[in-house]
Structure 1
Amino acid sequence: MGKMKCIYIIFSLSCLRYASMTYIQAEPEFDLLIFTQQWPATACKDWKKHDSSHTCVMPSNVDTWTIHGIWPTKFGTIGPAFCNRTWLFDPEKIRPIEDQLEQLWVNIFGGTSLYSLWAHEWSKHGTCAAVLEPLNSELKYFSTGINWLQKYSMSNILKAENIVPSNTKEYSIVDINKAIKDKINVDPVIECKKEDGESYISDIRICFTKDFKIANCDGVVSRKLIGDQSILTNCKTSENIVYPHYNKKSFYVQVYKLVSWLQWFTL
């Protein structure tokens, strides 16, 4: 009987040790938090590119950077992601800041649910970031995004250096990178999308350590050498960047001009 009891105790301890090891292994590991701001005009252009019937939901100030997400990331890889698929997004948890989120963390993709972007960001990234106490709830996670946008608004940073949205002027990636680095003293990541043969600025990412200190984004993407400048970017280094101004009426103006021309032509 004593022997069986001893075996039972050893078995139980082994199970507990395995469960503990499994828990530790399952806990998400990451090096940085990437705070990503997106340029709504480019996001809209990309959304419509996939389907001409798509519509866009823009912030009330169309010329302002909005939040895309806070992404825990390991150096040299993507993720972790979807760390707790049972922790579902609950809109009730973010009610106190919902009005702010509608303007600052905008779901550009018209025709989709108001909550679809927030639900995606929470499920994919928030449940991983939640191992950190300041981000361990939906309200904390999304509030942190709002706070960071207010402190590190790319709209304000770029405008201070006379880099403003334009449909006629293009900008050097070196100038954009310098404007940001001079302000925050670390290297950001500048992302572009290729549209109609041109590079459109799409995202600007800044990084934080797990104790919420701003940091260089090295290890997230590769550097590119432009002259004597080393820049973290996916943009083509041989051309300038379009920083487009969103003009909701531009399409209708073009149609109106075309119709007017056809009417004149057929007279």
Structure 2
Amino acid sequence: MAKATWFILVELLLLQCASYFCISQGYDFFYFVQMWPGSYCDTKRGCCYPSPGKPATNFTIHGLWPHFKNNTVPSNCNEKSHYDGTKILDLFSRMQQSWATLACPRNNGTRFWSHEWEKHGTCSESVLDQHSYFEAALNIKDKVNLLQILEDAGIRPDDKFYKVEDIKEAIKAGTGYNAAIECNSDPSRNAQLYQVYLCVDASGKDLIECPIIPRRKCNPSVQFPIF
């Protein structure tokens, strides 16, 4: 009887660990990813400005993505935890300014934020609830003014080409940490500065040196397009 009870307890524990709680608490750090809107729009796909209008000429948040040090990526960790805009009403204006969507058809960003929460945010839910998750990303964005950092180094969105190594060095000088650069291509197949990856500790508060630098393809020199 005692043995049967023990097996039942083990089964219950395994079922609990298959639930979102045991899954969602597993991650080591975040990738904080900012995107240059000019590069998103200057592709064959094009873009649509969000319903509030054209975003500011600045980097915009793509996401805050939990990651493991063994280079595996948790995702969709709690199918029951849906995006709820009522939980972030006080962040809405900041979200529209700093986490704008450029996807078509034109929209106010809700679909994009929902995707980011359900795919990525739920995997950090043991540390950050929905409000805290979005607020953490916004606060990091406020701390890391990428455009200003690059402009201070003479790297401007003027359609000119810049060396990727110079971009990385400027970001290291401005933040104290190494960044990864992701590029895309315009319709003429010119490589463009598209996204910048920095790493954040598991609390979602502080930049850290990336345990793993994501490898993204880029030409030695890339265009920094006007937006």
Give the TM-score normalised by the residue count of structure 1: 0.75
Distance apart, 1:6 and its partner CA: 3.9
Q: Which has more helix, going by share of residues?
A: 1
Distance (Å, rounded) in 2 between the aligned partners of 1:202 and 1:111 = 21
Match of 2:152 among 153, 160, 163: 160
How many residues of Structure 1 are paired with residues of Structure 2 in the alignment? 221
Residue of structure 2 equivalent to 1:142: 134
1:125 maps to 2:106: no
Distance apart, 1:89 and its partner CA: 0.5
Distance (Å, rounded) in 1 between the aligned partners of 2:118 and 2:35 = 19
Q: Kindly provide the amino acid, as one letter, of the partner of residue 32 in structure 1.
A: F
Assess if the C-alpha contact under 8 Å between 2:193 and 2:224 holds in 1. Answer: yes
Residue of structure 2 equivalent to 1:216: 209
1:7–1:72 CA distance, 2 compared to 1 (3 A) = closer
Distance apart, 1:18 and its partner CA: 3.2
Residue of structure 2 equivalent to 1:189: 180
Q: The residue matched to 2:64 in structure 1 has which SS?
A: strand
1:100–1:43 CA distance, 2 compared to 1 (3 A) = same
Max radius of gyration: which structure?
1
Assess if the C-alpha contact under 8 Å between 1:28 and 1:83 holds in 2. Answer: no
Match of 1:204 among 196, 199, 220: 196
Deviates further, 24-33 or 143-152: 24-33
Give ranges in structure 2 of 5+ residues lacking alignment.
Answer: none
Q: The residue matched to 1:202 in structure 2 has which SS?
A: strand
Give ranges in structure 1 of 5+ residues lacking alignment.
Answer: 223-232, 247-267
Match of 2:96 among 96, 102, 127: 102
Taking only aligned residues, the RMSD between alpha carbons, in angstroms, comes to 2.3
Distance apart, 1:241 and its partner CA: 1.0
Residue of structure 2 equivalent to 1:261: none
Distance (Å, rounded) in 2 between the aligned partners of 1:39 and 1:191 = 10
1:119–1:25 CA distance, 2 compared to 1 (3 A) = closer
Residue of structure 1 equivalent to 2:28: 31
Match of 1:68 among 59, 62, 74: 62
Assess if the C-alpha contact under 8 Å between 1:59 and 1:104 holds in 2. Answer: no
Distance apart, 1:11 and its partner CA: 4.2
Distance (Å, rounded) in 2 between the aligned partners of 1:15 and 1:93 = 35
Give the TM-score normalised by the residue count of structure 2: 0.87
Structure possessing the higher relative contact order (Cα contacts under 8 Å, 6 or more residues apart): 2
Distance (Å, rounded) in 2 between the aligned partners of 1:66 and 1:28 = 27
Question: Any idea what the Cα deviations from partners look like across 1:60-89, whole Å, max 9, x if unmatched?
Answer: 42x211111100012454521110111111
Residue of structure 1 equivalent to 2:223: 242
Q: The residue matched to 2:138 in structure 1 has which SS?
A: helix
Distance apart, 1:25 and its partner CA: 5.6
Distance (Å, rounded) in 2 between the aligned partners of 1:184 and 1:6 = 59
Q: Kindly provide the amino acid, as one letter, of the partner of residue 234 in structure 1.
A: K
Equivalences for 1:78-89 in 2 at 5 Å?
A: 78-89=72-83
Distance (Å, rounded) in 1 between the aligned partners of 2:126 and 2:13 = 21
Residue of structure 2 equivalent to 1:174: 165
Q: Quick one: percent identity of the two aligned structures?
A: 25
Residue of structure 1 equivalent to 2:12: 16
Distance apart, 1:20 and its partner CA: 4.9
